[in-house]
Structure 1
Amino acid sequence: MERNMRSITSLAAVAVLLLAATGCGGGSTGGSAQGAKDPTTGKTITDSKGQAVSVEAANKFKTAMDAMVQHDKAGDWSEATCSSTAQLFLDAADQQGDTTFAEAIYNAGLAYQRCKKDSEAKKHFTQALQKNPKFHPARVQVALYNLAESGERNLDAAISEMRQAAVVDAQYKNVEALVHLALLYMKRGNQVADNDGPNDFQRAKRYIQSALAVDDAFMPAFNQLAIYYLETAKQKAGRKTGKAVATNVSKQKKVDTQALELAALVCSQAIRKNPNYAPIHNTAGMIQVELANLNGAVQEFNLARRLDPTFYEAQMNYAAVNLQFRGFQQADEAYRAALKMRPNDYDAHLGLALALRGQIDDANFDSMVAAASAELEAAKKVAPERAETYYNEAILTQEYKAKSGGKGAEGALMSAKGLFGQFIQKAGASAEFADAVKRSKERMSEIDQIIAFNKQTEAERKAAEADMKTKEAEQEAAAGSEGEGGEATTPAPAPAQ
C-alpha cells in the first residue's frame, strides 16, 4: 500500500488540534466534571462534536501532541516512537471516557502512519469516522486508503468521498481535503460537465484556488497549482499527462512555453514563501525539463531530494536527468536511494542497470557487466511483461558480453538477437517503442552479418593454414632432394591468392 499512497499524494497529513468552544457554556464532559479551558481565551475546550474535554484528557492530549511535534522535527520516527505516541493519544481518548473524542483517535492513526503502519493507521481513522461521521480529516484518510487498496482504480468513489469531506462536511475549510480533491480530479481527467465545472481539470483548478483562498501559505496548494499549469500545457500539446518521473522530452511534442512559464512563476512565488518545501522544487525541476533546461532541472531535483531524502520521485527524477547527460555515478547513487525506499520498483532497477552499464571500463569490466545484468534480472522479476528490460539486456549482451572475446562470443550474439526478438514481440505496435523496434531489427540484421563474417574469416584462416602447410611440405621435399646430390630445382610458384 505504501507505494500507492505515495503516488496519490505527497501531502503529509497534519494532526488536528482541540479548539475552544465558539458558543457559550460548552457541552458536558465524560471523564471529569470540569472542562478544560483555553489559556488564551478562557473558553471551554471542546471536541469535534462540541462536547467539553476534561482537564485530564486535555492534558494527556497536549502531551501526545508535544511528542508528535518533537518527533516530526527530529525526524526520528520508528516503530517504537510511533506506537508510544499513538498510545498517548489513545490514553487521552480513554481519559475522556465517552465515544466522541475523534481527534485523539485520529491523531493516533497519524502516529502509526508516520512509520508506514498503514493497517493500524486506517483502523484508527475508521474508528474516528465512526465516532463522528462528520469528522472530515478522518474521511480524507479513509478515502485515500480505499483508493490505494483498489490500485487507484476507484477514482469515482474516492472523489465522491473527498468532496463530501471538503465541501459538505468541512464547508471549504479543510485545505488538505480541497487539494486532495483537486489532485483526484486531475488524475481522473474526464470531460463530463457537472455543477462544479465543465471538466475535471477546471474543477481541480477551482478547488486549488479555494484552498489558497483559505490559506495563501499552504504549500501543497501552490504545488498542485503549478502541476495544474504544467499538465494543462501538456494536454494542449497532445501529450500524456500525469507522469510523476522526468523523461526525455526531446522527441515529444513541445508544450506551450508561455504556459510553462506560468507554472514556473507559481513555483517561484511558492519558493519565496517557503524554500524548504521539497515537492515544489521537484515540480520546478519537471518544468525545467520541459523547457529543456537540464542543468536547472538537476539543481531543483537535487535540492528536493536533499530537503527530503525519502522523496522517491525527486530521487528518480535526479537520476533520470543525470542519465541523459552521462552523469552515471550521480544516477547510480540516486537510483540506489530510491531502491532503499522501494526495493521492488521496476523503474529504479532498470535505471540502475543503465547507470551501471554507463560506468563499464577495462578496469571494472567483469564486475560492472555482472552488476548491470543482475539489475536487469531484478527488473524482469518485478515486471516480466515490460518490454524495456529485454531491449536493454540485448544491448548489454551485444555491446559488452559478446565483445569480451573468447569462444562464447557467437553464443552471446545469438542470445542478444533472441532478446531483441523478444523485445519486438512484447513491444507490439506501441508507438512508444516504434524507434526501438526499428533499431532492434537493424541490430538483428547486423548480428547476422557479424556471425557470417566471422564464419567466413574462420574459413579463410583455415584455408591459409592449409596452404602454409602445403608450402612447408614442398620446401622440405625440395631441401631433401638437394641434400641427396640431385640438381636443384626451381620451386613451383605459389598459387595466386
Structure 2
Amino acid sequence: MRSITSLAAVAALLLAATGCGGGGGAGPSGPTAKDPTTGKAITNSKGEAVSVEAANKFKNAMDSMVQHDKAGDWNEASCRSTAELFLDAADEQGDKTFAEAIYNAGLAYQRCKNDAEAKKYFQQALQTNPKFHPARVQVALYNLADSGEKNIDKAIAEMRQAAVVDAQYKNVEALVHLALLYMKRGNNEPDSDGPNDFQRAKRYIQSALAVDDAFMPAFNQLAIYYLETAKQKAGRKSGKSVATNVSKQKKVDTQALELAALVCSQAIRKNPNYAPIHNTAGMIQVELANLNGAVQAFNTARKLDPTFYEAQMNYAAVNLQFRGFQQAEEAYRAALRMRPNDYDAHLGLALALRGQIDDSNFDKYVAAASAELDAAKKLAPERPETYYNEAILTQEYKAKSGGKAAEGALQSAKGLFGQFIQKAGASAEFADAVKRSKERMEEIDQIIAFNKQTEAERKAAEADLKTKEAEQEAAAGAEGEAGAEGATQ
C-alpha cells in the first residue's frame, strides 16, 4: 500500500508553530510562546501552552525538515539529526506532553525509510496523547503492514477512530486512508456508514474533499474508486496497482472509465506535479487500450517521483506490450534499486532482456536473462510464470545450436514446461499458457524425433556412401588386375 502521509501532516504542524518566538506568560518550563498575528498562546494537541524555547526548537526542526525536503537529500544522518531536533523540542516542553514534536521525529525517520524508528515515535506520540489522530493513522498503517495486510478489520477500526471520532472529519489523510482500506476489503455487509465497502469509501473520499478541495490524495482515490467500480461492474477483480495486459480481459464500461479520467484531468489542472494522479491516469488509459497515452502518463509520474515504484513498473510493463524492451529494462532496473527482492521486477527484467537478444549480444543477454529468472525463482519458487519463461528462453535460445547438441537443452525446456503446467494447476489465469506449453512440449518431441531421424539418415547415408566407395575401389582394383593379366599374355 503506497502511503499518502508525511507532507500534509507536517504542513499543518508547521502552521501551528509559525511565528514561534514571541514571549509572555508563564509556560510549563518558561514563558509561553504566542502567535504574533493573534497574540494568543500557542498550544499543543492537548491544549496546553507551549514554552518559547520548545516552540523555537520545534520551528528550527521544521525548518530543517523543509530544507531537506526541498533539497531531496535525506539520508541516515540527516534523518537522525532532524529527528533529534524535534525530540529536543519535546524534552524542552517537558513532562512528555509535546505529541507533535515526537510525531515529527517519527516522520523524519520515515523520510529515509527507517520504519522501526518511525513506528516507535508514532507509538510514543499516541501514548503521549491518545487522541492525537495523525499518530493513530501511522500506527494503524504500520500494524496492518506488519500483519501482512491481513488484519484489515482492525486497521479500519483504528482509522475510523482517527478520522471520525478523534479528528471529527477534519483529518483528510485519515479519511482517504479509511476509504482506501474499505476499497481494499471490499465486502458487501451494510452498516451505519453505507450498504457496502465501496459506498463507504466514496463517502469518506467526498468528506475529505469537502474539508480540502485541493487535497490531491483524495482526488487520486476518487479516480481509483471510479476505475475499480468500472472493473467490478465488468466482473473483473480489482486491486492491482501495476498495469497488466488487458487485451484478453473483459472490457469495462467506457463511460465509467471516462468519469475516472475526468477526475484525473481536474486534479492535474489543480496540481500537475502530483505524481500518483498521473500514474492513475495511466492505469485508466491502459483500460481504454490507449497504450501511448498510458506510457506518457506513467513516464510523467516516474519523472516527477523517480522513487515511485508503481509508476516505474507500469511504465516498464506497458513498454513490454509493444516491444519497447530498452525502455522496459531501464524502468525495471529502477524498480529493483528500490526493491531488490521484488519478484515481478526480476521477471519483467528477464523478459526485457530476452526481447533484446540478437547475434551481437547473444551470450551476454541470454546469460543475463537467465540470471534474472534464477533470482525470481529463488524469491518465489512456487510462482508458475518463472518456469514458463525459463522454458521459452531455453527452447528458443539455449537450444539454438540445433542438431544433436541441442537435445539436452530441448529436454530441459520440456521439463520446465511440465513444471509450469504442474504449478499452474487449474488456474484460469494461466489456462492459455498451459495450452501453449502442451503444444510446445509436443513440438519439442517432434524436433528431437526429427533430429534423431535426420541423424540416423545421415549415418545411413554415410554408411551407404562408404559402401559405394568400397565397392568402387574393389571394382577399380579388379579392373587393374585384369588389365595386368592381359598384358602378361
TM-score under structure 1 length normalisation:
0.94
Deviation by residue 1:303-345 (Cα, 9 ceiling, x = unmatched):
0000000000000000000000000000000000000000000
Q: 2:438 aligns with which of 435, 438, 441?
A: 441
Where in structure 2 are the equivalents of 1:79-90 lying within 5 Å? 79-90=76-87
Q: 2:314 aligns with which of 301, 317, 337?
A: 317
1:69, 1:438 → 2: CA distance? 56
Note the C-alpha offset of 1:484: 2.3
Read off the aligned partner of 2:29 and give its amino acid letter.
G
1:415, 1:38 → 2: CA distance? 75
Where in structure 2 are the equivalents of 1:113-128 lying within 5 Å? 113-128=110-125
> For the Cα contact (< 8 Å) 2:312–2:334, is it kept in 1?
yes
Name the counterpart of 1:135.
132
Note the C-alpha offset of 1:39: 1.5
Read off the aligned partner of 1:9 and give its amino acid letter.
S
Tell me if 1:204 matches 2:201.
yes
Q: 2:74 aligns with which of 68, 73, 77?
A: 77
The alignment yields a C-alpha RMSD, in angstroms, of 1.6
1:462, 1:454 → 2: CA distance? 12
Note the C-alpha offset of 1:97: 1.4
Tell me if 1:465 matches 2:459.
no
Q: 1:177 aligns with which of 174, 178, 184?
A: 174
Q: 2:283 aligns with which of 264, 274, 286?
A: 286
> For the Cα contact (< 8 Å) 1:27–1:51, is it kept in 2?
no
Name the counterpart of 1:63.
60
1:107, 1:310 → 2: CA distance? 22
> For the Cα contact (< 8 Å) 2:17–2:55, is it kept in 1?
no
2:196, 2:115 → 1: CA distance? 33
> For the Cα contact (< 8 Å) 2:236–2:250, is it kept in 1?
yes
Deviation by residue 1:1-53 (Cα, 9 ceiling, x = unmatched):
xxxxxx243444532346389xxxx9962221x11011211111000011110
CA separation of 1:11/1:259 partners in 2, compared to 1, >3 Å: closer, same or farther? farther
5+ residue gaps in structure 1?
Answer: 1-6, 489-497
Note the C-alpha offset of 1:405: 3.8
Q: Secondary structure at the match of 1:444?
A: helix
CA separation of 1:345/1:20 partners in 2, compared to 1, >3 Å: closer, same or farther? closer
Tell me if 1:301 matches 2:333.
no
> For the Cα contact (< 8 Å) 2:17–2:59, is it kept in 1?
no
> For the Cα contact (< 8 Å) 1:27–1:52, is it kept in 2?
no
Name the counterpart of 2:352.
355
1:296, 1:10 → 2: CA distance? 25
CA separation of 1:63/1:86 partners in 2, compared to 1, >3 Å: closer, same or farther? same
> For the Cα contact (< 8 Å) 2:4–2:173, is it kept in 1?
no
1:47, 1:72 → 2: CA distance? 24
Tell me if 1:427 matches 2:424.
yes
Q: 2:3 aligns with which of 5, 9, 20?
A: 9
1:342, 1:111 → 2: CA distance? 21
> For the Cα contact (< 8 Å) 1:155–1:188, is it kept in 2?
yes
Note the C-alpha offset of 1:354: 0.2
Name the counterpart of 1:45.
42
Deviation by residue 1:351-383 (Cα, 9 ceiling, x = unmatched):
000000000000111110000000000000000
Read off the aligned partner of 2:123 and give its amino acid letter.
T
> For the Cα contact (< 8 Å) 2:6–2:107, is it kept in 1?
no
5+ residue gaps in structure 2?
Answer: 19-23
Name the counterpart of 2:29.
31
Read off the aligned partner of 1:474 and give its amino acid letter.
E
CA separation of 1:470/1:220 partners in 2, compared to 1, >3 Å: closer, same or farther? same
% identical aligned pairs? 86
> For the Cα contact (< 8 Å) 1:28–1:51, is it kept in 2?
no
Name the counterpart of 1:253.
250
CA separation of 1:27/1:351 partners in 2, compared to 1, >3 Å: closer, same or farther? farther
TM-score under structure 2 length normalisation:
0.95
1:266, 1:18 → 2: CA distance? 29
> For the Cα contact (< 8 Å) 2:404–2:451, is it kept in 1?
no
Name the counterpart of 2:326.
329
2:447, 2:15 → 1: CA distance? 76
> For the Cα contact (< 8 Å) 2:14–2:59, is it kept in 1?
no
CA separation of 1:27/1:17 partners in 2, compared to 1, >3 Å: closer, same or farther? farther
Q: Secondary structure at the match of 2:399?
A: helix
Name the counterpart of 1:269.
266
2:404, 2:232 → 1: CA distance? 53
Note the C-alpha offset of 1:480: 1.4
2:51, 2:409 → 1: CA distance? 76
1:150, 1:470 → 2: CA distance? 77
Name the counterpart of 1:372.
369
How many residues are matched?
A: 477
Note the C-alpha offset of 1:481: 2.1
Note the C-alpha offset of 1:408: 3.4
Name the counterpart of 2:231.
234
